[in-house]
Amino acid sequence: MGDLSFRIINSQKQVRTGELKLKHGHIQTPALMPVATKATVKALSAEDLKKIGAQILICNTYHLMLQPTANLIEELGGLHTFMNWDKPLITDSGGFQAFSLGLGKEHAVGKIFFPDESQSSGKQKGKSIVKVNDKGISFRSIYDNSHQFLTPEKSIQIQEKLGADMILVLDECTSPLSGKEYTAKSLKRTHQWAKRCLEVHQSNQALIGIVQGGHWEDLRKNSAQFISSLEFDGFAIGGSLGKSKKDMHHILDWVIPCLEEEKPRHLLGIGVVEDIFESVQRGIDLFDCVSPTRLARSGLAHISPPAGTKSNKYRFKLLSTKYRNDPKPLDPQCKCHICKNYSRAYIRHLLKTEELVGFNLISFHNVYFMLHLMKEIRDAINKDYFNQLKKEWLN
Ligand SMILES: [Zn+2]
């Protein structure tokens, strides 16, 4: 077992707040972790993230093992020193990239596939650069096209070099368009890999097991029971989450009762407002999502309800002409440093002219907005008005 302890502070039915103690600090849950794929949250410094109140960041094994390499990061003192971040970190295992550069690319889908085109991911179909067999995952580097082979053992060794507080087992992430037969076969492999990761894991980093099984009830329950029976420090729910948000809710309803209650639960790669409320209600403690910074880069700013409309909830297009001379802050209800000091008109001007600091200002606000929402959710659970807060936001 790794260096992790988890204490549930308050719970009503499945909803809960907790405190997760890790080597580099304590995290209040439910928590959303900003995504620092290449050892940076895009456009934000470590100082910005501390001002925003980020408790933990998630970095990406696939990208870092290729560039600048795990050996180099280890030589420079590990990820915490390398990126000047002394709070908790988690690294993923590379399993998700096997999907996003493999089946995800071939099928042009994300973790959830929306058959309705209006909700489609806008992804382009491409050729997979990944092959998976029982030994591991072979793929091409997106940096220099070199051939790479990632095994469960190698993923753990790389993550030990990177030195995050929590690390994830290597899994195979299936596509929402994978059939049941393939998903079942892949699940067997993922379970074998989970055991191999446990066997090779030597550091005091907390090791998190991943539940897979696509959108099939029997496979998901089987996976949750299997992963829960092993000596993991916590659980993550990964992979395909079906063909609608409803499928995702069913998956959580099947999986969560099978997981040991006293260990933290992370819903991988999910974290927009609606999903956070629905998942917290079902017992999720940890989220990670690129959405706040990705939206920022396309000029979308988060805004508190009720200003949002149904089609673009909690966000607005700052690049729209109507904000050209708008002196108001991005979100009049937001208390972040950016909203206290800068106008929509100014930030819009910076983005229009591609002035780099514009990306910093809007990203700062968007990440603050989401982390502040998480704090509101924790307060609501602790003071017993979570359902009321959920209604206020989701109506
Ligand atoms: Zn703000």
Give residues whose Cβ lies within 5 Å of ion ligand 1.
Answer: 334, 336, 339, 365
User: For residue 312, what pLDDT band results from cuts at 50, 70 and 90?
Assistant: low
Residue 107 has pLDDT above 90, yes or no: no
Q: Which of these is catalytic: 92, 165, 275, 285? A: 92
**How high is the pLDDT of residue 17?**
98
Q: How far is the CA of 304 from the centre of ligand 1 (A)?
A: 10
pLDDT value of position 68 = 97
Ligand 1 centroid to residue 42 C-alpha, Å: 17
379 is catalytic: no
**pTM here?**
0.95
pLDDT > 80? residue 360: yes
Residue 144: active-site member: no
The catalytically annotated residue of 165, 233, 288, 331 is 288
Q: Given a cut of 50, is residue 228 above it in pLDDT?
A: yes
d(CA 165, CA 170): 16
Ligand 1 centroid to Cα of residue 330, in Å, is 6
- Kindly state the tokens that stand for 196: 């191999």
* Predicted pLDDT of residue 104: 82
332 alpha carbon to ligand 1 midpoint, in Å? 8
Give the pLDDT band of residue 375 (cuts 50, 70, 90).
Answer: very high
Ligand 1 centroid to residue 371 C-alpha, Å: 11
274 CA distance to ligand 1 middle (Å): 19
Please give the pLDDT value at position 118: 44
* pLDDT given for residue 102 in this prediction: 78
